[in-house]
Amino acid sequence: MSNVITSPDQALYQREGAYIPRIAAVHDMCGYGKCSLGVAIPVLSAAGCDVCPVPTSLFSSHTAFPGWYMHDTTDMLPDYLAAWKNIGVGIDAVYSGFLGAPEQVDRIRDLYAMYPDALRVVDPVMADHGKVYPTYTPELCAAMAELAEGADILTPNLTEAAIILGEPIGDAWAGEDIADDEARRMVDALLAKGTKTAVLKGIQRGDGRIRNFVGTEGGAFFEVDNELLPYMLHGTGDLYCSCLLAAVMAGRTLEESVRFACDFVHDAMLVSAEQPQFRERGVSFETMLGRVADLLK
């Protein structure tokens, strides 16, 4: 980021005229189920961004379905990114999510070196409700934690934040419920490790609300909450971070961006509930993409 964010009313990216920013989206590609590149590409494209995918793995479906197939793309990534360098691809933001192997963190660092002025956005997709995802080894979790330390924007849930901070996880985090002072402590701890803007998302208190706590290296701290719906859907974390980044790249303020992401995911979950097999299928947002495009107005 070019400026230290001291207020929620500051923007993280200055959109200039008709320029279309280019984003390297370092995520997996999932054939069925709404997540990862299947979310990032349409959402960021609707916000007037040129999305350049860097596929970290290929999945037949998201991992909530039995019998899923995964193909690790780690070995191809050095040549893939070298080809970008050879043709002079320019990048304004590097947005990473689900990773397939610890070595892929090195490839993201390669992107940081190639594009030192690019915004670094890390969605540390590795765990939820006190449990690590089945493809994540301890080595991969440790590598993700190291990557988080250099993020301009970091969007962990409670379990992921604990992993990044080296704190224990388990049944205590299953409800994603912590007090305000504990949320502030964790956000401050993430900032102390080098994150510039930390968005601790998905805190639940049993009062029908879901909370997001945001802190910056410049001292800003605020909370954004929304209605907690009585069901969970696959892909909402990917949608949240993609919407947040869409608003950021449209030149919106930090608080506007977080609020947009919260509201969009909530409303997409309502749309999803009208679809057949929505609990397995994942979050549906396609009919709402006009709201993303409206960020540019």
Model pLDDT for residues 46-69, shown as the tens digit of each residue: 999 999 999 999 999 988 889 999
pTM: 0.96
Class of residue 281 by CB neighbours under 10 A (exposed 0-12, middle 13-18, buried 19+): buried
What average pLDDT does this structure show over 220-247?
A: 96
Average pLDDT over residues 259-284: 96
Give the chain's end-to-end CA distance (angstroms, integer).
23
What is the per-residue pLDDT across 11-42, written as a single tens digit (0 to 9) for each? 999 999 999 999 999 999 999 988 999 999 99
Mean of pLDDT over the chain: 94
Q: What is the pLDDT of residue 45?
A: 98
Is the pLDDT confidence value at 174 over 80? no
Q: For the chain, what are the domain ranges?
A: 22-287
Task: Return the percentage of the chain with pLDDT > 90, whole number.
Answer: 86
Per-residue pLDDT tens for 71-101? 999 999 999 999 999 999 999 999 999 998 9
Classify residue 132 by its DSSP letter: E
- Per this entry, what is the length of the chain? 297
Asked if residues 98 and 57 have their Cβ atoms less than 8 Å apart, the reply is yes
Output the pLDDT for position 173: 61
Would the pLDDT of 181 be above 60? Answer: yes
Q: Tell me the mean pLDDT in the region 163-184.
A: 81
Out of 41-50, 93-102, 204-213, 286-295, which region has the weakest mean confidence (pLDDT)? 204-213
Phi then psi for residue 195, to 5 deg, are -65, 140
**Best CA proximity match to 286, nearest among 28, 25, 22, 38:** 38
**Residue 1: its pLDDT value, please?**
46
pLDDT at 175: 56
Residue whose tokens read 């301890």: 138
Closest C-alpha to 122, from 99, 92, 90, 91: 99
Query: Alpha carbon of 76 to those of 29, 56, 57, 144, 177: distances in Å?
Result: 15, 9, 10, 20, 40
Pairwise CA distance, residues 234 & 61, whole Å: 11
Mean pLDDT over 141-149 rounds to: 95
| CB contact burial 5-25 (16+ within 10 A = b; e otherwise) | beebebbbbebeeeeebbbbb
- Residue 3: CB atoms within 10 A of its CB come to 10
- The mean pLDDT value for 163-167 works out to 95
Options 3.20.20.210, 3.40.1190.20, 2.40.50.100, 1.10.1840.10; CATH of 22-287: 3.40.1190.20
pLDDT for the residue 130:
87
Is residue 238 a contact partner of residue 210, using CB atoms and an 8 Å limit?
A: no
